[in-house]
Amino acid sequence: MVTKIDTLNIFIPFLGVMVLTLLVWVYMYILRLSWIASNKPDSSLLSTPEKLTEIIPETVNYPANNLKNLFELPILFYAVCLYLAWSSTLDITHIYCAYGFFIFRVFHSIIHCTINIVLARFGVYILSSIFLWVMVLRSLYQLII
């Protein structure tokens, strides 16, 4: 028997991923604007993100790459969280998975924005993804049974 819980519990990790996205966005602009202020590139080189990416060091661009990543699988996370709150099928396993997804996305962002060790980043990405896919597949199972 699955124990139902208060739907508000799903919104802590839901909002956590949103705040993470905000922090990465702020960090991206801090790094980029600091680099621009220090290097004073010609304004024509700043006209598009692609041109900027060509001239800035790779490490300055790490947060921008992570920000793009935060608009991939997290979109499915938001959707499944809203579905679970709406459908009244939310249970403690979904909550644990939501927190797991959020925590490992935080680790993923820290790695991606700083040291960017690909194997470490990939490892936490896979773990966060497993939590998300468990939520999605359990939701599907609950819907069809």
Whether 44 has a pLDDT exceeding 70, the answer reads yes
Q: Structure tokens of 93?
A: 């396993």
Entry pTM = 0.93
What distance in Å separates the CA atoms of residue 94 and residue 27, rounded to the nearest whole number? 30
DSSP output for 44-106: GGGSSHHHHHHHS-HHHHHHHHHHHHTTSHHHHHHHHHHHHHHHT--BHHHHHHHHHHHHHHH
What distance in Å separates the CA atoms of residue 48 and residue 111, rounded to the nearest whole number? 26
The pLDDT tens digits of the residues spanning 74-100 come to: 999 999 999 999 998 999 999 999 999
| Domain boundaries, given as residue ranges, for the chain | 7-144
Domain 7-144 is of which CATH architecture?
A: Up-down Bundle (1.20)
Whether 7 has a pLDDT exceeding 90, the answer reads no
Please compute the mean of the pLDDT values over residues 27-53 and round it to a whole number: 93
Whether 138 has a pLDDT exceeding 90, the answer reads yes
